[in-house]
Amino acid sequence: MQSPQRRRLFQHGAFEIPTDKFENDEKTVYTEYTPLGVCVGICPWNFPLGLSIGKIAPAILTGNTIIIKPSGLKLAEIMQEVFPPGIVQAIGGNNEVGQQLREHPDVSKISFTGSIATGKKVMETASKTLKRITLELGGNDASIVLPDVDIKKVAPKVAMSAFNNSAQICIATKRIYIHESIYKEFLDEMVAFTNSIKVGNPGEDGILVGPIQNPMQYDRVKGFFKDSKDKGYKFAAGEPDVSASKGFFIRPTIIDNPPNDSRIIAEEPFGPIVPTQPWSDLDEVIARANNTNTGLGAGVWGTDIEKASQVARRLKAGSVFVNSFGRTDPHVAFGGHKESGIGFEGGKLGLLAYMNPRAIHVFKL
């Protein structure tokens, strides 16, 4: 899914930089945009290639150079065949290397994708030299299922919006709110689909969900299972105990109607466990969906497109999807509200984020 989207960034390389102009009897004022200079893109481990391209493309389209960390060495090698030396670089290393990049006086911009906690550290470090920053951080994204949906058609899609890539996607569905009139039937369909998902080595035939990426994240996700088990929450799909296996594999799991103050509702697991809750009052469920310090994505599912779109416009998130989830497009801005980020990537706003505006005031003599 990522590659065709990222390719389109380069296909539309003839980006016309906008020029705003104002004129009266006294003067002419126009705004031009200039490159920032040296930029740094810091990418996470879940989509290292796609997210790197999402930072490289706008940086070079707007006349900058960029250093990518973590290092996509093969990607950097390919870039050397296309661009002059130094335009695109990759650097590896530990957190100290990242901090040195963020503090370096010759770096003009940091574009970071990752966790909220690390994003705050990036912002703190960048503030010492007031670097330009773009932060695309985590979210606790909600999907609202309206009562008029085609249950058999939509339930598997909602489930996959939560479990794709083992839920290791910042914009995956993390909370699911289903209208009470269809709650049981919709949940049953989700459970049936979820139980049919094959988990294992992605190189094997029929595998839909792979492992958790690293031991630290694996242990964190298991913590949500333990908490849900200890609190006596109902496991509609999956098992309370994550079985030991070769690799960090976890079966997709659904928690049926945990309380609003539960950890699984309040926090982002970044793993294949998702809560569902029924709702009856639209205003109340919108308030529940918005009751988070994050605002990266949200979704609404319904047959009546106009009504679903009205609900979408009330959700406090940077990207809101109607009858889909997480299918972003590089033609439009992507970023978060609240603690899910600062600034945007993609679209014209994402390109201008790699440039400095300069207003020229020309007075008539």
Instruction: Give the whole-angstrom CA distance, residue 221 versus residue 279.
Output: 26
Q: Which pLDDT tens digit goes with each residue over 142-169? A: 999 999 999 999 999 999 999 999 999 9
Is 288 strand, coil or helix?
A: helix
**12-20: long-range pairs with CB below 8 Å, 24+:** 12/331, 13/61, 15/61, 15/62, 15/351, 17/62, 17/355, 18/348, 18/352
Which residue do the tokens 């065709």 mark? 4
Lookup: tokens for 259? 């309380």
pLDDT averaged per 10 residues in sequence order, the chain, 365 residues: 49 64 95 96 90 93 93 81 91 84 94 96 94 97 98 98 96 98 99 96 90 93 96 96 82 98 97 98 98 98 98 98 93 96 94 95 95
Q: Which pLDDT tens digit goes with each residue over 190-211? A: 999 999 999 998 888 999 999 9
Amino acid at site 193: F
Instruction: Give the whole-angstrom CA distance, residue 204 versus residue 291.
Output: 40
Q: What are the beta bridge partners of residue 362?
A: 28
Sequence-separated (6 or more) residues with CB below 8 Å from residue 210: 165, 166, 199, 200, 201, 202, 249
Active site residue: 136, 189, 339, 345, which one? Answer: 136
Nearest alpha-carbon partner for 143 in 286, 300, 288: 300
Structural domains of the chain sorted by starting position, each given as residue range(s) with its CATH number in brackets:
2-137+340-363 (3.40.605.10), 142-322 (3.40.309.10)
Active site (annotated) includes residue 267: no
Residue 97, Cβ neighbours under 10 Å: how many? 14
User: Per the confidence metrics, is the pTM higher than 0.75?
Assistant: yes
Lookup: tokens for 96? 């100290």
Q: Which pLDDT tens digit goes with each residue over 10-35? A: 554 556 777 789 999 999 999 999 99
Residue 84 CB burial class (10 angstroms; 0-12, 13-18, ≥19): exposed
Q: Which pLDDT tens digit goes with each residue over 278-296? A: 999 999 999 999 999 999 9
